[in-house]
Structure 1
Amino acid sequence: MNEEQKFKKATYHLKTFLISKMVSALGANVYAFGMSMYILSLTGSAFSFAANLIFSIVPRIVFSPIAGVMGDRYSRKKLVIVGQLGEAAAITGLLIYSILFGLSLPAIYCTTVMYSVCSTFSSVAFSASLGNLVDGGRMQKAMSFNQISYSFSGIGGPIVGGLLFGFVSIQLFLIINIAALIITTALEATMNFTLFKREESPREKEETMVGSLREGWHYIRKKPVIKSILFTGLWINLFFTCLNVGGDYVLLEQLKVRPQHIGIVEAAGAIGMLLTSIYFASRANVKNPLLFSKCAILGLSLLIAAFALPLIFSLSYPIVITFYAIAMLLFGSLGILTNTPILVMLQNSIDEEYRGRVFGILEMMAMGMMPVGTIIYGLLFDLVPAAYLFIGSGIILIGVTMICLNSRVIKQGELALLNLKTDMTV
Structure 2
Amino acid sequence: MSGQRSDQKSWKRNLLVFLGGQTVSSLGSMIVAYAVMWHLTVETGSAAVLTLSVAAGMLPQAVVSVFGGVWADRHSRKLLIIGADSTIAAATLVLALLMLSGAGDLWMIFLAMAVRSALAGVQAPAVNAMLPQIVPAEHLMRVNGVQQTIQSGMMLFAPAVAAAVYASTGIVTVFFIDVVTAVIGVLLLLLVPVARTVRSTGSSEPVSYLGDLVAGVRYVRGNASVRWVMGLVAVVMFMAGAPAHLTPLMITRSFGDEVWMLSVNELFWSVGMVVGGAAMAVFGPKVKRRVRLMVAASVGVGLLVVGLGVSTDFWVFSVAGLVICILFQMLLVPAATVLQEQVEDSMRGRVFGFYGIVMSVAMPVSMIVFGPLADRFAVESVMILAGVLLLGCLAGMLALGGARRSLATVGENEDRAELLVSGG
2:413 equivalent to 1:412: no
Shift of 1:26: 2.5
- What does residue 326 of structure 2 align with? 333
Distance 1:353 1:337 in 2: 27
Q: One-letter code of the match for 1:21?
A: Q
- What does residue 177 of structure 2 align with? 176
Contact 1:155 1:268 in 2 (8 A): no
- What does residue 345 of structure 1 align with? 338
Distance 2:336 2:17 in 1: 21
Unaligned 5+ segments in structure 1 are none
Q: Alpha carbon RMSD of aligned pairs, Å?
A: 3.5
Given the superposition, is the C-alpha separation of residues 107 and 128 from structure 1 closer, same or farther in structure 2, using an over 3 Å criterion? same
Distance 1:84 1:223 in 2: 32
- What does residue 361 of structure 1 align with? 354
Distance 2:95 2:323 in 1: 35
Shift of 1:82: 0.6
Percent sequence identity is 21
Shift of 1:87: 1.9
2:238 equivalent to 1:238: yes
Q: How does 1:21-420 map to 2 (within 5 A)?
A: 21-40=22-41, 48-101=49-102, 105-162=106-163, 166=167, 168-194=169-195, 200-201=199-200, 203-204=202-203, 205-243=205-243, 245-246=245-246, 256=257, 258=259, 265-283=265-283, 284-307=285-308, 326-376=319-369, 386-406=379-399, 408=401, 409-420=403-414
Contact 2:75 2:197 in 1 (8 A): no
1:98-157 CA-to-partner distances (Å, cap 9, x unmatched) read 334465543433222111111111111111111101112221222122112212212211
Distance 2:163 2:302 in 1: 28
Contact 1:158 1:264 in 2 (8 A): no
Q: One-letter code of the match for 1:421?
A: D
Q: One-letter code of the match for 1:336?
A: Q
Shift of 1:221: 2.6
Between stretches 46-55 and 81-90, larger displacement belongs to 46-55
Between stretches 66-75 and 355-364, larger displacement belongs to 355-364
1:1-27 CA-to-partner distances (Å, cap 9, x unmatched) read x65543222111222233223323322
Q: One-letter code of the match for 1:236?
A: V
Contact 1:305 1:391 in 2 (8 A): yes
Q: One-letter code of the match for 1:61?
A: A
Between stretches 125-134 and 278-287, larger displacement belongs to 278-287
Given the superposition, is the C-alpha separation of residues 266 and 102 from structure 1 closer, same or farther in structure 2, using an over 3 Å criterion? farther
TM-score relative to the length of structure 1: 0.83
Distance 1:348 1:78 in 2: 22
Between stretches 15-24 and 346-355, larger displacement belongs to 15-24
Between stretches 412-421 and 35-44, larger displacement belongs to 35-44
Between stretches 106-115 and 364-373, larger displacement belongs to 364-373
1:177-235 CA-to-partner distances (Å, cap 9, x unmatched) read 333222222211211122xx786536412111121112122222332111112333344
Residue-pair matches, total? 415
Contact 1:47 1:379 in 2 (8 A): no
Q: One-letter code of the match for 1:217?
A: V
Secondary structure, counterpart of 1:282 in structure 2: helix
Distance 1:345 1:21 in 2: 22
Unaligned 5+ segments in structure 2 are none
Shift of 1:368: 4.2
Shift of 1:415: 3.0
